[in-house]
Chains A and B, each alone.
Chain A
Amino acid sequence: MNWSHVKLIFHREVRDQLRDRRTMFTICILPILLYPLMGMVMMQVAQFHREQHVTIGVVGYENWPEDFPLITEVENDTIRWKKLLSDDSLVRAFEASESKRKSTDVFETRVGSHHQSNDPNAAEKLLRQFESDAIVWVPPSFRESISRDSMVILSNQRWERSQLAAKCLNERISEWHAHWLRSHLKVSEIGAALMDPPRVMQVDVSSAEMKRAIVWSKILPFVMLVWALTGAFYPAIDLCAGEKERGTLETLLCSPARRREVVWGKLLTIMCFSIGTALLNLASMHTTASLVMSQFSGLGTGDMVAAMGPLPLHSMGWLILLVIPISAIFSALALAVACLARSTKEGQYYLMPLLLVGLPLVMLPMIPGVVLSPGTSIVPITGAVLMSRALMDGEFMHALLHLPTVATVTVLCCMLSIRWAVRQFESENVMFRDSERSSMTQWIRNVWRQREDTPTPNESLLCGLLILVCLFFGRLSLGGMTLSWMSIVQSTIVIQLGMILAPALIMATILTRSIRKSLRLNRPGAKELVATVLLAISLHPAYTGFASLVGAEYKLGEQTTSMLMQFDSIIAAAPIWSVLLVLAMVPAVCEELAFRGFLFAGLQHNNGHIRAILLTSLLFGLSHGVLQQTITASVIGLLLGWLAFRTGGVVCTIVFHCVHNSISMLLVSFSSCGSVAPQWLTWAIESSNGQLAYTGTWCTLSVGVAISLIAWFASQKSIAESLQAFGQHATQKSIRSVPNLSRGH
């Protein structure tokens, strides 16, 4: 790569963007102006709130104890009292009801009758009639029996002022009651100190600087990432879709700069603006918020607000360090997506989904309780945010522990995003797309005419997504069923046959010429089958260990745990042959035909075996619904994908899957029955805490056996030859398809 070309393109693009008033306004001017303006508005609103008063009407204040008045003349009191006179209609109504024993009921009936008369604004009318935000009614006998008779506070919770008035009134009455009680205790010669709560001295070991860092560490990474994403958007659209629209990209592509160099030049520009936007917003928000909050703290508004002073410098350093890799990911993704667009308008449509995908990853660290752990560190962006938060909070050792994982995931994401962007630039179909012609019938006719023996990668992906959507709605609709063996059988059959196998089978029938090749139905040798069975048995201890690790890291909720326990006891009670048929055999056949069959067949096109293994395992994992199962199934899916690739078909993976499921079911079934391991198996299985588990000897031995079997599969000459034959067949097929294509015209 010629870096002088990259530098030239970068300089040109940066200069071009700096000359664009719209970009400059969004990226530079807006952040500088936005937060001070917002701060100004906030200060004014807060001032308004501080100065506003609430009006509370009091009915029957003459019933209040005279020695301890509720209404006092205090300067700057937030409550304005309004004694309602006896000639008011409402008061008359109360007085009239005084003869009745439960006068509060009368009041409530009166208010209630307004509601019942289909007049939803009745309560509002009462409050409006007396121009009050809330009305308190003091019962006639209140002075004599303060604790026995209840007051009534009428408020309208739809109005914020009314909510505030009710809150103020409650606080004022509580204060009054404490004062009243204290006085009475004094009179009764009981120590008033009895009322005081025990004294507790709060000692906070964190420094003021650290407290400030903790408050900011929750807010700033989120703000920064949102702006890093937004800051990458507009330059990406302008530099790619905009250049296509203006026709300048073509000129650049026939210049000495190679496409990779053009991509790097543009990518660095987008990154530059993404980082710039994020940092400018950060600085502007931080400065404004610190100043505004210092104003509030001066007025004694609370500890949290007081803690939001200026962020320590080292914390700011960690944030700046975070923004670089995150901006690189966002910029590369934005550039790749913007490549798909033919115009700036189209680019905006394409970038919205990117925002929708990116935001949840940015939002995830905001959820209370989400901290940096082995589980969260592998989530792209989320891990990096949590890491920067840990560093800002001063938890250096904790952050250092997760640094390798977070760095690997982030670098991997960066590399993949950049590679995708370069590929987009190198693809003629993407760079020189003509305007779309929307003829559905012609498209369907073409799909039918052009179908091949196996599905295309897009058809396979569509099938995978269709399965996931079907499973989502299927599980929701089946979720209400009571847990019994019959319901488990029904739901398993419906899910496996109807939602996993059926989409693959229907698509194989409609979109391909050969169902056998689309589902990769092969005839493996006896040796391969035996090796597959042994591999499934020998890998099961390792799988169990891994599943326990995942379970320990990502704890199941109480509800899920109890459901799983119930599920295990139902399985234990069911006939073992039916358990193996329904929970081992059926899922093995259906899932393998769909994932390692139809999906794999399409995704392995153009030597895309690695793509096929990765994507099928991911989709297979996601089809399991629960996070813990998703992780374990994705990992086992990688092995199944590799096995499907090595054996050239789906039969071995069905056998593996079936044996694996059967062992799991047998262990669960026997453990739940409280059975002990048979004598001849004690070297491999033991009972511990009422559960059947693998012995240490077998765990060690099995890993060795599994590795040997994997090596055997990897070295099988016959399989390699069959794969080569499959490759030749695929080549012949592609040659054959040429006349088919030309027939289309």
Chain B
Amino acid sequence: MDLVQVRNLSKSYPDSVQGEIIALENVSFVAKAGEVFGLLGPNGAGKTTALRILATILQPTSGSVRVFNFDVTKQADYVRHSIGFVSNNTAIYDRMSAWELVEFFGRLYALPDDHLYPRMEKIFRTLQMEDFKECPGAKMSTGMKQKTSIARALIHDPPVLIFDEASLGLDVMVARALQSIVMELRDQGKCIIYSTHIMREVERLCDRVAIIYKGKVIDSGTLEDLAERHHQNDFEELFYQLLMLGDKVGSV
């Protein structure tokens, strides 16, 4: 079941210097339930813009984007209930504890108390957050913040989860823990859109990937398909070659 459908998505911004910046141009991909879909690309490729559109934070200039079969423009309220968004910026309130933060978002999702608190306890236990649940955001380590962020995104049990460079700045231990959480969520049947720069992570987690470069999808498919198509088993090397190829095509 395609939980995320992106068709011919384009996004441009007005710019005082250049007149207009085209961040995305005719981007298309689908992501299914129970899979981790990797959205890869160098810095400034347009990954965050695409994910922000999926999360209804930005509006597409043209094209169609559906999440859980809801249109991100016309049915934004339903889309927001269907997603959990974890960004690279850990986005934790400094003066709120992990417990308070997750509780606040749970209430925004209108979860009743008898459902909210057992779920919070379960999530805090699963993510091993019980030790720091009363700790204010300002005093949390990066790993703690990221776990809190994931707990916040999971509180309403959304079918689609978006991770935007979520492993950035995490140490090996926490990064591994994050990977296990993602795999567990995939096994639960969630659709996960995962954006990262770390190719080892892609190899470990992603079932299918789309590589975005300068606002366009330059290739997509399973890792095996890509390796076969480009005769390259080292994914980092393959990624690099694709970007170089993209540069050459662009310059011609």
A395 contacts chain B at the CB level, 8 A cutoff: no
Given that A247-B90, A254-B83 are contacting pairs, would A428 and B59 also be in contact in the complex, using a CB cutoff of 8 Å? yes
Let me know if A246 and B55 touch, CB within 8 A.
no
A5 contacts chain B at the CB level, 8 A cutoff: yes
Give every chain B residue within 8 A of A689 (Cβ-Cβ).
none
Let me know if B105 and A255 touch, CB within 8 A.
yes
Let me know if B77 and A247 touch, CB within 8 A.
no
Nearest CB on B from A702, distance (A): 48
Give Cα A252–Cα B36 distance, bound, in whole angstroms.
25
Give Cα A5–Cα B81 distance, bound, in whole angstroms.
14
Give Cα A20–Cα B96 distance, bound, in whole angstroms.
11
Contact with B along A10-49 (1 / 0, CB 8 A): 0010011001100000000000000000000000000000
Let me know if A16 and B96 touch, CB within 8 A.
yes
Nearest CB on B from A742, distance (A): 7
Nearest CB on A from B116, distance (A): 13
Let me know if A429 and B83 touch, CB within 8 A.
no
Q: Which residue of A lies closest to B80 (CB)?
A: A256
Let me know if B22 and A745 touch, CB within 8 A.
yes
Given that A16-B93, A246-B91, A446-B17 are contacting pairs, would A254 and B104 also be in contact in the complex, using a CB cutoff of 8 Å? no
Q: Which residues 250-280 of A have a CB within 8 angstroms of B?
A: 250-251, 253-258
Give every chain A residue within 8 A of B95 (Cβ-Cβ).
15-16, 19-20
Let me know if A246 and B94 touch, CB within 8 A.
yes
B87 contacts chain A at the CB level, 8 A cutoff: yes
Let me know if A742 and B56 touch, CB within 8 A.
no
Give Cα A20–Cα B137 distance, bound, in whole angstroms.
13
Binding-face segment, B107-115, B187-195, B231-239? B107-115
Q: Which residues 634-662 of A have a CB within 8 angstroms of B?
A: none
Give every chain A residue within 8 A of B20 (Cβ-Cβ).
741-742, 744-745
Q: Which residue of A lies closest to B79 (CB)?
A: A254
A8 contacts chain B at the CB level, 8 A cutoff: yes
Nearest CB on B from A327, distance (A): 23
Nearest CB on B from A20, distance (A): 6
Give every chain A residue within 8 A of B108 (Cβ-Cβ).
5, 8, 255-257
B251 contacts chain A at the CB level, 8 A cutoff: no
Let me know if A247 and B80 touch, CB within 8 A.
no
B89 contacts chain A at the CB level, 8 A cutoff: yes
Contact with B along A210-247 (1 / 0, CB 8 A): 00000000000000000000000000000000000011
Let me know if A251 and B87 touch, CB within 8 A.
yes
Give every chain A residue within 8 A of B96 (Cβ-Cβ).
12, 15-16
Let me know if A442 and B110 touch, CB within 8 A.
no
Number of chain A interface residues as a range: 20 to 34
Give every chain A residue within 8 A of B58 (Cβ-Cβ).
428, 432
B152 contacts chain A at the CB level, 8 A cutoff: yes
Give Cα A744–Cα B13 distance, bound, in whole angstroms.
13
Give every chain A residue within 8 A of B68 (Cβ-Cβ).
none
Give Cα A450–Cα B85 distance, bound, in whole angstroms.
37
Q: Which residue of B lies closest to A440 (CB)?
A: B17
Give Cα A429–Cα B17 distance, bound, in whole angstroms.
14
Overall SS of chain A's interface: helix
Let me know if B14 and A429 touch, CB within 8 A.
yes
Let me know if B91 and A251 touch, CB within 8 A.
yes
Let me know if B19 and A247 touch, CB within 8 A.
no
Contact with B along A714-745 (1 / 0, CB 8 A): 00000000000000000000000000011011
Give every chain A residue within 8 A of B52 (Cβ-Cβ).
250, 432
A437 contacts chain B at the CB level, 8 A cutoff: yes
Let me know if B91 and A741 touch, CB within 8 A.
no
Let me know if B91 and A450 touch, CB within 8 A.
no
Nearest CB on A from B21, distance (A): 8
Let me know if B93 and A8 touch, CB within 8 A.
no
Let me know if A745 and B104 touch, CB within 8 A.
no
Give every chain A residue within 8 A of B81 (Cβ-Cβ).
256
Given that A16-B96, A439-B17, A742-B22 are contacting pairs, would A248 and B104 also be in contact in the complex, using a CB cutoff of 8 Å? no
B98 contacts chain A at the CB level, 8 A cutoff: no
Q: Which residue of B lies closest to A9 (CB)?
A: B108
Given that A8-B104, A254-B57, A257-B108 are contacting pairs, would A744 and B89 also be in contact in the complex, using a CB cutoff of 8 Å? no
Q: Which of B77, B90, B104, B109 contacts A258 (CB 8 A)?
A: B77
Give Cα A437–Cα B149 distance, bound, in whole angstroms.
32
Nearest CB on A from B244, distance (A): 21
Let me know if B93 and A450 touch, CB within 8 A.
no
Let me know if B16 and A251 touch, CB within 8 A.
no
B217 contacts chain A at the CB level, 8 A cutoff: no
B3 contacts chain A at the CB level, 8 A cutoff: no
A443 contacts chain B at the CB level, 8 A cutoff: yes
Contact with A along B1-40 (1 / 0, CB 8 A): 0000000000011101111101000000000000000000
Q: Which residues 59-91 of A have a CB within 8 angstroms of B?
A: none
Give every chain B residue within 8 A of A19 (Cβ-Cβ).
95
Give Cα A237–Cα B216 distance, bound, in whole angstroms.
37
Given that A254-B55, A432-B58, A742-B22 are contacting pairs, would A248 and B91 also be in contact in the complex, using a CB cutoff of 8 Å? yes
A449 contacts chain B at the CB level, 8 A cutoff: yes
B50 contacts chain A at the CB level, 8 A cutoff: no
Let me know if B107 and A254 touch, CB within 8 A.
no
B206 contacts chain A at the CB level, 8 A cutoff: no
B contacts, CB < 8 Å to A: 12-14, 16-20, 22, 52, 55-59, 77, 80-81, 83, 85, 87, 89-96, 104-105, 107-110, 149, 152
18 pairs, CB–CB < 8 Å, chain A vs chain B = A20-B95, A246-B89, A246-B93, A247-B87, A248-B93, A251-B152, A254-B55, A254-B56, A255-B105, A255-B108, A256-B109, A429-B14, A446-B17, A446-B18, A742-B22, A744-B18, A744-B19, A745-B20
Known: A16-B96, A429-B14. 19 other contacts (CB 8 A): A8-B107, A12-B104, A19-B95, A20-B95, A246-B93, A250-B52, A250-B91, A251-B85, A251-B87, A254-B85, A255-B108, A255-B109, A256-B109, A437-B17, A442-B17, A442-B18, A446-B19, A744-B19, A745-B18
A contacts, CB < 8 Å to B: 4-5, 8, 12, 15-16, 19-20, 246-248, 250-251, 253-258, 428-429, 432, 436-437, 439, 442-443, 446, 449-450, 741-742, 744-745
